[in-house]
């Protein structure tokens, strides 16, 4: 008789905000894998965590979070869901958190991607294997091409090209993942405030004529196991309220929180949603 296959260890999920932690848990459970979620207090949605085994921990209570994961036999861990990065004064780390923070070192004071990459490294040193949400939730990854019924026009494509150049520059210095461009003019760029706040700001800066385009890309060299660009129906609604006519995201590198809901919202608002390869939008001066 063939040897029985050992069950895979439980998947640990460090859960921030939004619906994705629940979707990752559901996908893993559907594949026959046990899951355990550690909800980050003040960020994770109790309703999202409720259907699954879970516990709660402060963001700075790394000792409690790691102890919970180890107690459940979790060796693989996913970091998913937005978390607003606190100041070190607000973090209030426990003893283990302070020890890990010291090992993160100068990255704690740098850009978000450098900080998250350091967290991934430290978790690996603690014996965990960090997976990307996209590795578990493959169907949530944005495909290439148009999502929905609305197509991008020539002005939209020109604004996307401009947005790609700007987003690459922002990402290259680990500032943000996106921007809003209207008729070639950069209305807003994303920093620590996040996409929704950037769109709200862009709404007051829009110009007469065809609306702008939101462009979101993976940062150059980004640690893809944490903080991939994410959009969903709420992004579409915020974009429509800001007067946008479209959204362009990096195909294969962006997570969709609710693909069907996103398409329905985009079609209802008359917005295009386009998965792009940024290399196809290189500016002439970027090409060899």
pLDDT digits (tens, 9 = 90+) for 253-276: 999 999 999 999 999 999 999 999
CA distance 28 to 42: 25
Topology match between the domains 11-136 and 141-286: no
Name the phi and psi angles at 165, rounded to 5: -60, -45
Domain 141-286 grouped into CATH 3.90.1150.10 = no
Contact between residue 19 and residue 256 where contact means Cβ atoms under 8 Å apart: no
Q: For residue 91, how many other CB atoms are within 10 A of its CB? A: 17
β-strand partners of 216:
178, 249
| pLDDT band of 9, cuts 50, 70, 90 | confident
Name the phi and psi angles at 147, rounded to 5: -105, 115
Name the phi and psi angles at 136, rounded to 5: -95, -40
Rounded to the nearest angstrom, the gap between the alpha carbon of residue 10 and the centroid of all alpha carbons in its chain is: 23
Query: 214-245 pLDDT, tens per residue?
Result: 999 999 888 888 888 999 999 999 999 999 99
Q: For residue 8, how many other CB atoms are within 10 A of its CB? A: 13
Higher pLDDT, 6 or 288: 6
User: Residue 87: what pLDDT?
Assistant: 64
Q: Is 287 helix (H, G, I), strand (E, B) or coil?
A: coil
Residue 29: pLDDT above 70?
yes
Domain ranges within the chain, ordered by starting residue: 11-136, 141-286
Domain 11-136 grouped into CATH 3.40.50.20 = yes
| pLDDT band of 287, cuts 50, 70, 90 | very low
Residue 202: pLDDT above 50?
yes
User: Residue 99: what pLDDT?
Assistant: 83
Residue 109: pLDDT above 80?
no
């Amino acid at each position: 008789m063939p040897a029985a296959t050992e069950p895979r260890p439980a998947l640990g999920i460090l859960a921030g905000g939004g619906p994705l932690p629940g979707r990752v848990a559901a996908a893993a459970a559907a594949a026959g894998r046990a899951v355990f979620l550690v909800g980050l207090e003040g960020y994770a949605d109790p309703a999202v965590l409720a259907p699954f085994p879970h516990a709660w921990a402060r963001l700075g209570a790394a000792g409690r979070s790691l102890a919970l994961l180890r107690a459940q036999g979790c060796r693989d861990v996913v970091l998913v869901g937005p978390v607003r990065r606190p100041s070190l004064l607000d973090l209030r780390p426990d003893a283990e958190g302070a020890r890990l923070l010291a090992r993160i070192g100068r990255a704690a004071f740098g850009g978000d991607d450098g900080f998250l990459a350091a967290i991934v490294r430290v978790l690996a040193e603690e014996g965990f294997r960090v997976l990307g949400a996209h590795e578990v939730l493959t169907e949530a990854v944005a495909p290439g091409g148009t999502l929905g019924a609305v197509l991008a026009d020539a002005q939209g494509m020109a604004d996307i090209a401009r947005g790609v150049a700007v987003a690459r520059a922002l990402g290259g210095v680990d500032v943000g993942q996106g921007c809003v461009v209207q008729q070639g003019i950069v209305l807003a760029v994303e920093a620590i405030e996040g996409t929704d706040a950037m769109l709200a700001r862009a709404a007051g800066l829009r110009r007469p004529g065809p609306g702008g385009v939101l462009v979101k890309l993976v940062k150059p060299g980004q640690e893809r196991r944490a903080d991939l660009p994410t959009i969903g129906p709420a992004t579409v609604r915020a974009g429509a309220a800001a007067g946008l006519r479209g959204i362009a995201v990096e195909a294969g590198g962006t997570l969709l929180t609710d693909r069907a809901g996103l398409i329905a919202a985009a079609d209802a608002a008359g917005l295009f949603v386009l998965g792009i390869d940024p290399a196809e939008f290189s500016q002439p001066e970027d090409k060899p």
